[in-house]
Amino acid sequence: MSTPVEKQEWFRVAEAFEGSGLTQKAFSQQRGVRLSTLQSWVYRRRRQQPEKAETVRLLPVEVAGMAQPGPALLEVVLASGACLRFASGTNVEYVARLVAALGR
C-alpha cells in the first residue's frame, strides 16, 4: 500500500502526464516509469476528480412549421436515429445532459 506522500507524488506525475500532450507510452518512457503504473495512477486521479460538465454542441435548426395546432414540442434526433420529444418549456440544461448521456 502506498503512503500518503507517494500518493501525492504519483498524483503529480499523473497530472503532469495530463498536461503533457504525450501518449501514456511516450510519457512513461520519458520519465522512466512503468507504463502500467502510470496508467493506474492516471485512472485513480481521474476517478477522484469531480466530473466535468460535458460540452454540448448546438446545431442550427430550421423551423418548418407545425402540421397540427397543439402544444409546442421540442424534438431532438440523435445520431443513432433515436427521437426525443419534450414539451415546450422543458429545462434546456436537462435536455442537454440527457442528450449527452445518451450519446455516450
Same domain, yes or no: 87 and 104: yes
Residue 35, pLDDT > 90, answer: yes
Same domain, yes or no: 58 and 98: yes
Give residue 89's domain range: 53-104
Q: What's the domain count of the chain?
A: 2
Burial-class residue 97 by CB neighbours within 10 Å (0-12, 13-18, 19+).
Answer: middle
Same domain, yes or no: 19 and 43: yes
What's the whole-model pTM score? 0.45
Residue 41: which residues within 8 A CB-CB, separation 6 or more?
10, 11, 13, 14
Same domain, yes or no: 62 and 102: yes
Say whether 97 sits in a helix, a strand or coil: helix
Same domain, yes or no: 11 and 27: yes
Same domain, yes or no: 36 and 74: no
Residue 64, pLDDT > 80, answer: no
Identify the band that residue 98 occupies on the pLDDT scale cut at 50, 70 and 90: confident
Show the cell assigned to 68: 397540427
